[in-house]
């Protein structure tokens, strides 16, 4: 079917001008996508780690592609590069300490001091995401197992404001279905943070001689000698402490936490930015991060993380969008295309970009982020380990709940592609990479995603597992969405007071 001249009439609270669907030759598109992903996920870029030579090489390659397409630099020079200052450092495990105390009804007070790691089965672990020292003292409040559930009418984090939220590990008497995402520490921490807690302290019993650390803690403890990367002068993040002690969690009345870093160095990365002007000085930002995880420590067989889906697919899709947009008659708003650095280290490139936009903030209408658009995947992580096959045409479109007009915009785009697109409003993008900083800046935001799979952040995320027919359809979806966004006559409002009661959280 020839879609080149379809005219769509939308009945909604806002109107659009006439829309022409863009369709590229499928074979050419797939060949280009394959070639770009093959290079990005191949040995010449060895995992695209940032900061470092392979990350720099990737940035310059993307800039070269922008130039070949004929794009215009959006940062005032001929190199497309926006320098992002970064710092690196190591957690000083010898100086990082916790002091916790009890105040029991019998009047027996106990104070324990532990350094990082375990000694005789007791001690603590903390894995900071931010390179910001911390020296804090606060009261502690016992918060059960850290469960929040409207269905169970339960909120373990009531009245925790300003206190250390101390929780027992596990889910207690609940079933996994009842506990849902609160089986996992990061979701407990997010709920404690939202409730105003100073930190989350998850208490485990001491480890016996033949007992192993929980897998996630064991994995993270093995990475403690890998440098952390951050933006300069970043505020400390929300601390999550894993405490192994014979003291009962409910007896802990106070926490003193000291986090120290060493071997600090200054470095930099690069966002790669191009502009495609429209008829009016307003812009839609479309982006994808180009960095990945670099080399595989101690594994000669798997020398590096390929990152074919995460996120060579997104960068290849971004380049294809740029090719299409450069060739079309651009009416309405323009585009700003961005390949972000240091997403894997905490969205550092996109955070810097949001604070250093190449155009006035009021000229930015919306943002579309492409992250992992190349696989047959599931809508949530729970299904990944099941013995089932994913819907080969599943796609997720997560959007700012604070901008309900985005749902109408997405609806007008999704019926034009051969995908089963689920539209999901979210209150925040804390699990969606570079979409997060834009949403936090009250910019209406959409994240496009092809689904979860078992090769996430694994050396096995390789090009042979990508579905390029589906990936081409994801590019078509992005094109259709950008077409509607650039042509929308009315502004897209962002009202932080609009929230969904039960947002979809993929876990």
**Within 13 Å of residue 179, how many CA atoms lie on the same side as its CB?**
18
Contact 140, 247 (CB under 8 A): no
- pLDDT band of residue 77 (cuts 50, 70, 90) is low
Distance, CA of 498 to CA of 496 (rounded, Å): 5
Give pLDDT, residue 380: 84
Q: Does residue 2 surpass a pLDDT of 70? A: no
Token output for 127? 């894995």
27 contacts: CB under 8 Å, gap ≥ 6:
none
Listed range (54-68, 75-89, 186-200, 357-371) with the worst mean pLDDT: 75-89
- The yes-or-no verdict on residue 4 having pLDDT over 90 is no
pLDDT confidence of residue 19:
40
The chain-wide mean pLDDT, for the chain, equals 90
Q: Where are the alpha helices (DSSP H) in 130-225?
A: 176-179, 185-194, 215-221
CATH 3.40.630.10 domain span(s) along the chain: 26-87+266-487
Could you tell me which residues are beta bridge partners of residue 88? 229, 265
Q: How far is CA 355 from CA 51, 76, 265, 430, 489, in A?
A: 20, 17, 22, 18, 27
Could you write out the DSSP letters of every residue in 60-91? HHHHHHHHHHT-EESSSSSS-EEEEEEEEEEE
State the pLDDT at residue 106.
Answer: 56
Residue 296 vs residue 316, higher pLDDT: 316
Q: Would you state the structure tokens that stand for residue 147, as one six-digit string?
A: 């469960």
**pTM (two decimals):** 0.87
**Which CATH number applies to 93-259: 3.50.30, 3.40.190, 2.70.98, 3.30.1370?**
3.50.30
Q: How many CA atoms lie within 13 A of 101 on its CB side?
A: 13
- Mean pLDDT computed over 258-279: 96
- Is the bond preceding 311 in cis, omega lying within 30 degrees of 0? yes
pLDDT category at 237 given cuts 50, 70, 90 is: confident
Q: Residues 432-451: what's their mean pLDDT?
A: 96
What does the pLDDT look like over 377-419, one tens digit per residue?
998 877 887 888 999 999 999 999 999 999 999 999 998 999 9
Q: CATH 3.50.30 in the chain, residues?
A: 93-259
Tell me: pLDDT of 23 over 70.
Answer: no
Options 3.10.310.10, 3.30.70.2190, 1.10.357.10, 3.40.630.10; which CATH number does 26-87+266-487 get?
3.40.630.10
The total of other beta-carbon atoms located within 10 Å of residue 11's CB is 6
Measured distance CA(476)–CA(413) in Å, rounded:
9
Over range 176-202, report the average pLDDT: 93
pLDDT tens column, 330-358: 889 999 999 999 999 999 999 999 999 99
Q: Can you tell me whether residue 101 is helix, strand or coil? A: strand
Question: At a CB cut-off of 8 Å and minimum separation 6, what does 106 contact?
Answer: none
Q: Of 94-108, 246-260, 371-385, give the lowest mean pLDDT range.
A: 94-108
Residue 108 tokens, joined:
């027996």
pLDDT band with cut points at 50, 70 and 90 for residue 103? confident
């Amino acid at each position: 079917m020839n879609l080149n001249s379809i005219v769509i009439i939308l009945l909604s609270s806002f109107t659009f001008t006439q829309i022409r669907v863009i369709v590229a030759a499928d074979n050419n598109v797939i060949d280009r996508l394959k070639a770009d992903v093959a290079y990005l996920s191949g040995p010449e870029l060895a995992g695209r780690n940032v900061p470092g030579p392979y990350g720099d090489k990737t940035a310059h390659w993307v800039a070269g592609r922008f130039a070949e397409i004929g794009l215009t630099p959006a940062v005032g020079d001929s190199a497309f590069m926006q320098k992002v200052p970064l710092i690196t450092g190591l957690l000083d495990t010898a100086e990082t300490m916790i002091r916790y105390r009890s105040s029991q009804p019998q009047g027996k007070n106990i104070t324990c001091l532990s350094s990082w790691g375990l000694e005789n089965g007791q001690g603590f672990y903390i894995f900071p995401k931010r390179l910001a020292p911390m020296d804090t003292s606060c009261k502690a409040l016992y918060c059960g197992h850290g469960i929040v559930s409207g269905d169970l009418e339960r909120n373990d984090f009531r009245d925790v404001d300003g206190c250390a939220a101390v929780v027992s590990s596990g889910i207690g008497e609940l079933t996994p279905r009842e506990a849902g995402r609160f089986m996992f520490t990061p979701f407990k921490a997010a709920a404690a943070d939202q409730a105003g807690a100073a930190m989350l302290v998850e208490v485990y019993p001491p480890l016996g001689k033949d007992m192993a650390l929980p897998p996630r803690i064991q994995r993270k403890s093995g990475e403690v000698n890998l440098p952390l990367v951050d933006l300069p002068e970043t505020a400390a993040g929300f601390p999550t402490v894993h405490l192994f002690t014979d003291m009962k969690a409910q007896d802990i009345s106070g926490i003193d936490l000291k986090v120290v870093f060493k071997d600090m160095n200054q470095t930099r990365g690069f966002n790669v930015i191009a502009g495609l002007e429209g008829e009016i000085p307003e812009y839609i930002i479309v982006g994808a991060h180009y960095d990945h995880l670099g080399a595989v420590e101690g594994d000669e067989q798997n020398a590096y993380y390929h990152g074919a889906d995460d996120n060579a697919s997104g960068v290849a899709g971004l380049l294809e969008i740029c090719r299409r947009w450069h060739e079309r008659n651009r009416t309405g708003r323009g585009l700003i295309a961005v390949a972000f650095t240091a997403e894997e280290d905490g969205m550092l490139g996109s955070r810097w970009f949001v604070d250093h936009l190449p155009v006035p903030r009021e000229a930015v209408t919306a943002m579309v982020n492409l992250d992992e658009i190349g696989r047959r995947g599931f809508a949530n992580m729970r299904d990944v380990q099941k013995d089932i096959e994913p819907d080969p045409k599943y796609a997720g479109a997560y959007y700012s709940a604070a901008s309900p007009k985005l749902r109408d915009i997405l609806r007008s785009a999704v019926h034009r592609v051969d995908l089963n697109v689920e539209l999901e409003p979210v209150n925040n993008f804390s699990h969606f990479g570079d979409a997060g900083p834009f949403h936090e800046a009250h910019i209406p935001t959409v994240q496009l995603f092809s689904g979860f799979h078992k090769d996430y952040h694994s050396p096995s995320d390789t090009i042979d597992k990508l579905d390029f027919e589906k990936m081409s359809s994801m590019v078509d979806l992005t094109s259709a969405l950008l077409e509607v966004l650039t042509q929308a006559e009315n502004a897209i409002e962002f009202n932080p007071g609009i929230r969904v009661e039960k947002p979809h959280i993929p876990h």
